[in-house]
């Protein structure tokens, strides 16, 4: 028999949950047996925030560095030390604030995260490129100077739209690589450049461009926002942002938004005590926190929502999808609905009627538009090509 279990970063079969329960009391000997996380895992429910108890599913945990090949090139940004230290302080502070909570005990940061010294010790094992405005001395550091690109933007209103780009290429004593956001954008950009008298050769990537006998002017697919000049290597990288002033937005592969993307809550951490929320069946209430209630001999967590007149509604954590954000501007004075009345259902009904009326109006507009004769404009040629080249979105095929 093959068992297909939900995909997690940790095992979720019966033996794994049993190991979790055993390690729970090894790490939290004074924790309450009614702790919601412990109860949920025991009942086969994945509670929100379970990733912060990841070590309890394993005898030993690993880090990203344990999986990286030995010669992996690691890129780090300037200020990594400060950011790592700030994160370490934040996690230690949170641990000290909450370590004595018997219902929601938390693991010490040393069991969840690499400590700052360990992080940089691991990084030293790999070749590293650090992006910094400052030069580094010692330790075998090799500094590569960079310079900002001059203005090479295309100007569709000029007699020669690519005049600035042509001047830069003509005056630059080196090779130029133009970076497009996608293969489709690359082909459109090649057509546009050829119309301007520039014929870049297509290369597969950075390695091919650096190879011997590589062309002086080339184009490739690379997701870069800003270009630069490498004076020592005599190489210039030009991006679409530099040419058209706005980065191309990749939209085609993005999943279609669902109705909960903006309005819904992904997990309990997004809820703020005292904030107004909307229950799909009962309307606007104010979130008052979590409460553990016992029914039928079982303890479970509930979201407490307070409505007008002080009435309270208890919503199981498993029904979080029924709660959405309040869209009004003044959260402090949000008008709360009253439980047991038709006010909310009437409001929803009116909104649905308004939607239907709007849809009918739109259908009427479209019908009248279809009945009219259109007008065919002449091809604006250069102006249109300049507009198409600067269009900041990936075209839908």
Full set of structural domains in the chain with CATH? 1-61 (no CATH), 69-143 (no CATH), 163-244 (3.40.50.11140), 268-344 (2.40.10.170)
| Sign for the pseudo-dihedral over CA of 70, 72, 73, 78 | negative
Q: What is the pLDDT of residues 71-88, one digit of tens each?
A: 899 988 888 999 999 999
**DSSP H/E element including 339:** none
CB neighbour list of residue 212: distance below 8 Å, 6 or more residues apart: none
- For the segment 83-104, what is each residue's pLDDT rounded down to a tens digit? 999 999 999 999 998 888 888 8
pLDDT (mean) for 208-226: 86
pLDDT digits (tens, 9 = 90+) for 322-348: 899 998 878 888 889 998 888 888 888
**Confidence bin at 319 (pLDDT 50/70/90):** confident
Can you tell me whether residue 117 is helix, strand or coil?
helix
Given a contact cutoff of 8 angstroms between Cβ atoms, the answer to whether 112 and 55 are in contact is yes
Beta strand 217-221 pairing with 201-202: parallel
> Alpha-carbon distance 251 to 135, whole Å?
38
How many whole angstroms separate alpha carbon 123 and alpha carbon 117? 10
Q: List strand residue ranges (DSSP E) for the chain, in order.
A: 74-77, 128-131, 175-180, 201-202, 217-221, 228-230, 235-239, 276-279, 283-295, 298-306, 312-316, 323-325
Predicted confidence at residue 210, as pLDDT, reads 87
What count of other Cβ atoms lies within 10 Å of the Cβ of residue 67? 8
- Distance (Å, whole) CA 68 – CA 128: 13
CA 173 to CA 234: how far, in whole Å? 7
Neighbours of 78 (CB within 10 A): 12
**Spacing of C-alpha 28 from chain mean position:** 34
pLDDT band at 152 (very low <50, low <70, confident <90, very high): very high
Predicted pLDDT at 272: 87
pTM, 2 dp: 0.46
Q: What average pLDDT does this structure show over 115-123? A: 93
Give CA torsion, residues 87, 266, 319, 254, to 10 deg: -160
Q: Is the pLDDT of residue 397 over 70?
A: no
* CB-based contact 235:251 (threshold 8 Å): no
CB atoms within 10 A of CB 254: 9
């Amino acid at each position: 028999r093959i068992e297909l279990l939900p995909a997690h970063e940790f095992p979720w079969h019966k033996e794994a949950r049993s190991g979790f329960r055993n390690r729970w009391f090894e790490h939290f000997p004074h924790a309450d047996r009614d702790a919601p996380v412990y109860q949920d895992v025991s009942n086969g429910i994945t509670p929100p925030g379970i990733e912060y108890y990841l070590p309890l599913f394993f005898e030993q945990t690993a880090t990203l560095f344990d999986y990286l090949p030995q010669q992996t090139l690691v890129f780090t940004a300037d200020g990594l030390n400060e950011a790592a230290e700030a994160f370490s302080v934040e996690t230690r502070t949170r641990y000290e604030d909450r370590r004595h909570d018997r219902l929601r005990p938390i693991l010490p940061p040393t069991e969840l995260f690499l400590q700052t010294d360990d992080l940089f010790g691991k990084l030293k094992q790999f070749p590293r490129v650090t992006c910094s405005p400052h030069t580094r001395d010692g330790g075998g550091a090799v500094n590569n100077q960079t310079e900002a690109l001059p203005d090479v933007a295309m100007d569709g209103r000029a007699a020669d739209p690519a005049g600035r780009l042509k001047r830069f290429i003509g005056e630059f004593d080196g090779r130029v690589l133009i970076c497009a956001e996608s293969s489709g954008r690359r082909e459109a950009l090649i057509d546009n450049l050829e119309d301007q008298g520039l014929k870049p050769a297509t290369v597969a990537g950075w390695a091919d461009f650096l190879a011997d006998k590589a062309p002086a002017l080339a184009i490739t697919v690379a997701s870069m926002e800003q270009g630069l000049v490498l004076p020592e290597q005599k190489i210039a990288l030009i991006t679409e942002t530099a040419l058209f002033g706005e980065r191309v937005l990749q939209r085609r592969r993005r999943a279609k938004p669902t109705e909960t993307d903006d309005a819904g809550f992904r997990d309990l951490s997004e809820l703020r005590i005292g904030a107004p929320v909307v229950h799909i069946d009962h309307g606007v209430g104010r979130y008052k926190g979590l409460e553990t209630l016992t029914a039928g001999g079982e303890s479970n967590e509930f979201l407490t929502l307070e409505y007008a007149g002080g009435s309270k509604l208890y919503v199981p954590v498993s029904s979080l999808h029924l709660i959405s954000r309040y869209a009004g501007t003044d959260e402090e004075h949000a008008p709360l609905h009253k439980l047991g009345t038709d006010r909310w259902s009437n409001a929803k009904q009116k909104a649905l009627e308004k939607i239907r009326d709007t849809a009918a109006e739109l259908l009427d507009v479209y019908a009248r538009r279809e009945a009219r004769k259109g007008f065919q404009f002449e091809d604006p040629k250069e102006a249109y090509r300049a507009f198409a080249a600067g269009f900041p979105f990936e075209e839908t095929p």
